[in-house]
Amino acid sequence: MAKLTLDGVTKRFDDGGDVIVAVDDVSIEIDDGEFLVLVGPSGCGKSTTLRMIAGLETISDGRIAIDGDVVNDVPAQQREIAMVFQSYALYPHMTVRENMRFGLEESTTLDTDTMNERVEETATMLEIDDLLERKPSELSGGQQQRVALGRAIVRDPAVFLMDEPLSNLDAKLRSGMRMELQRLQHDLGVTTVYVTHDQTEAMTMGDRIAILDDGELQQVATPLECYHRPKNLFVAGFIGEPSMNFFDVSLEDDRLVGSGFEYPLSSPIRSELAGDEKLVLGIRPEDIEVLDARETAHDFPVRVDVVEPMGNENNLLAGFRTDENDSQFNVTTDGMRRIEEGTHYIARFPESAIHVFDRESGVALH
């Protein structure tokens, strides 16, 4: 068990004379036993961060510490870390038993009997004990995934690092393994850093999520905090599916004026926006209410252009009827409600659900 500290961690690659800053001054404290999900779009620096923690990549600046001991110069094998890769990285010529034991032989000096015992205990825990004599080619993707996990668990490491471990599984297996992994991590209590670009995994698995963009840390918080109180436009747009709707607006007196609508602000929100004229209004599709009649100043006539029935909900593409630019936004409604394409409705943007950002810096103001 261990606390993991990243302090100003930076990675620069020299790309034929050009310097690429893959990870830029990232600081995160990961608590003992915590499950931290590192999430962000392709190329944002997730894998590089994980590889620096593992010791597979050098650190250009900053420090990484396990339980307060700086490990920058400690070789990978001596870091008490086990890594699970997307590709599983199993040895094809070895059986499951040999693959799992290999992880142990690399990192410990245990006697053979103890090693075998550990392999069997772990295999039982992962329900792969009947596969121990098979080769990886004789296993399904899900079973190979368990073996890769088993090889990490058997080492009893201080920290687990997982790089998109579920991305090669089909959707159904993935959601099952998502829950199983969470349960396992919880039972084992091992500090875990889990990399994914899948925001469903981030939202459902992590105690906290760390969101990276372009090598820079955008926010570290619980999934619900990132969802309800995103620190900036990037986090607001990245977390949530379908994504938050954004409207360019300007602040005029106590109203936000956008293309085809005017949104009056109550004085508490208005006072948070002093001095900022160029803003972005954000609202999540699931926070927009669809009504039959206009009742408040936050209700707007809209046309529904597209209806996608998903069963439990409908995804609508709608536009303000007074918007000459014909721009569209997403609305999610209850699947039981019948809404026809091409019809006119009233959309309510409740003031309790709106977000306001500075357009230039992207910083959340409300």
Least Å distance, CB 18 to ligand ATP, is 9
Least Å distance, CB 174 to ligand ATP, is 16
Residue number, 5 or 47, with CB nearest to ligand ATP: 47
From the list 9, 26, 39, 45, which residue makes contact with ligand ATP (rule: CB under 6 A)? 45
Tokens 């999430």 identify what position?
A: 39
Which two three-digit tokens encode residue 239? 């977390």
Q: Single out the segment in contact with ligand ATP by CB under 6 A; choices: 13-21, 113-121, 298-306, 340-348.
A: 13-21
- Show Cβ contacts of residue 16 under 8 Å, excluding neighbours closer than 6 positions: none
- Count of residues engaged in binding ligand ATP, rule: CB under 6 A: 13
Residue number, 10 or 182, with CB nearest to ligand ATP: 10
**H-state helical runs in the chain:** 46-54, 96-107, 112-125, 141-153, 171-188, 199-205, 223-228, 233-238, 267-272
SS percent in the chain: helix, strand, coil, step 5: 30, 35, 35
Least Å distance, CB 50 to ligand ATP, is 8
Least Å distance, CB 212 to ligand ATP, is 7
Single-letter amino acid code for the residue at 150: G
Identify any residues that bridge with 291 across adjacent strands, giving them in sequence order. Answer: 346
Q: Is 270 in the site for ligand ATP (CB under 6 A)?
A: no
Least Å distance, CB 211 to ligand ATP, is 11
Site track for ligand ATP across 47-86, x = CB under 6 A: xx--------------------------------------
Q: Is 22 in the site for ligand ATP (CB under 6 A)?
A: yes
Identify any residues that bridge with 19 across adjacent strands, giving them in sequence order. Answer: 14
Which two three-digit tokens encode residue 328? 């569209």
Q: Is 43 in the site for ligand ATP (CB under 6 A)?
A: yes
Q: Is 46 in the site for ligand ATP (CB under 6 A)?
A: yes
- 8 Å CB contact between 131 and 143: yes
Least Å distance, CB 13 to ligand ATP, is 3
Q: Is 44 in the site for ligand ATP (CB under 6 A)?
A: yes
Please choose, from the candidates 145, 136, 191, the residue with its C-alpha nearest in 3D space to the C-alpha of residue 164: 145
Q: Is 42 in the site for ligand ATP (CB under 6 A)?
A: yes
Q: Is 156 left (phi over 0), alpha (psi -120 to 50) or beta?
A: left
Q: Is 197 in the site for ligand ATP (CB under 6 A)?
A: yes
Q: How many CB atoms lie within 10 A of CB 263?
A: 20
Q: Is 165 in the site for ligand ATP (CB under 6 A)?
A: no
Cα-only R_g, the chain:
25
Residue number, 36 or 307, with CB nearest to ligand ATP: 36
Q: How far is CA 116 from the centre of its chain?
A: 36
Q: Is 15 in the site for ligand ATP (CB under 6 A)?
A: yes
Which two three-digit tokens encode residue 151? 């090889």
Least Å distance, CB 87 to ligand ATP, is 12
Which two three-digit tokens encode residue 38? 């590192």
Q: Which residues bind ligand ATP (CB under 6 A)?
A: 13, 15, 20, 22, 40, 42-48, 197
